[in-house]
Structure 1
């Protein structure tokens, strides 16, 4: 399974927005913070805006905010917003595949892989990922009892 650069960039950009919900963030600032090509990120934001994942405001005080609470946005939803179909094999959905002979059972494997991956990504929200990041990088020394 391959995750597209577009999906990776979209999730990383939304995590930046989830981490700083006090003010709008610029596309330039997010691109710089995540080392993402700015022009590419702008097109990703267009897709995310159409999907309602972000909202924007123009002007010198403008930028982007999450379209709704980070607890309500799953990674699977982000991937679908920027890539379209969640899982394809040679451009086809696994549920329409049929192979002859000894390979006849293979489409069921692909459907199982899709279901398992979708389950993990649908259960993982931006808020959960943001919490993992704060756990991974403590801001103060650990206190032991």
Structure 2
């Protein structure tokens, strides 16, 4: 699976919002996640239109997650930014069994990415930020 820069930026923005306790302005998301500003605006708009984000204008406004981080899977974000993956082209003759293998691979990828939520990634990051235990 290839993950585009757009998807990496979208995941970064979503994770930044998953750790925020109030709405966050687009310029702050762009700066903290090192996303080009215009690109960030387009991504946030796409995620809002898909129902993953909410927004409000004004000095107290910004963006926030439409659902709790534990209810948004990585697959939800990836589907918005990458779209549906096209079916693999048919393989001729001796390579024909590869089509079934690719289908299984996509199924496993989708299952894994559907299980991992933004909350899981935030928790994994918290584990990495903790000081190492003496051992």
TM-score bin (small chain): over 0.9
> Which residue does 1:11 correspond to in 2?
11
- Per-residue deviation at 1:142? 5.7
TM-score by length of 2: 0.93
> Partners of 1:98 and 1:36 in 2: how far apart?
38
Query: Which secondary structure does the structure 2 equivalent of 1:3 belong to?
Result: coil
Q: CA RMSD in A?
A: 1.6
TM-score by length of 1: 0.87
> Partners of 1:3 and 1:143 in 2: how far apart?
34
> Which residue does 1:103 correspond to in 2?
95
Change (3 A) 1:101 1:128: same
> Partners of 1:32 and 1:45 in 2: how far apart?
14
Kindly provide the CA deviation profile for residues 23-61 of structure 1, in whole angstroms up to 9, marking residues without a partner as x.
110111011111111111111111100111100000111
2:104 to 103, 107, 112: 112
Q: What are structure 2's unaligned runs of at least 5 residues? A: none
> Which residue does 1:122 correspond to in 2?
114
Query: Which secondary structure does the structure 1 equivalent of 2:55 belong to?
Result: strand
Q: What are structure 1's unaligned runs of at least 5 residues? A: none
> Partners of 2:18 and 2:49 in 1: how far apart?
18
Query: Which secondary structure does the structure 1 equivalent of 2:121 belong to?
Result: helix
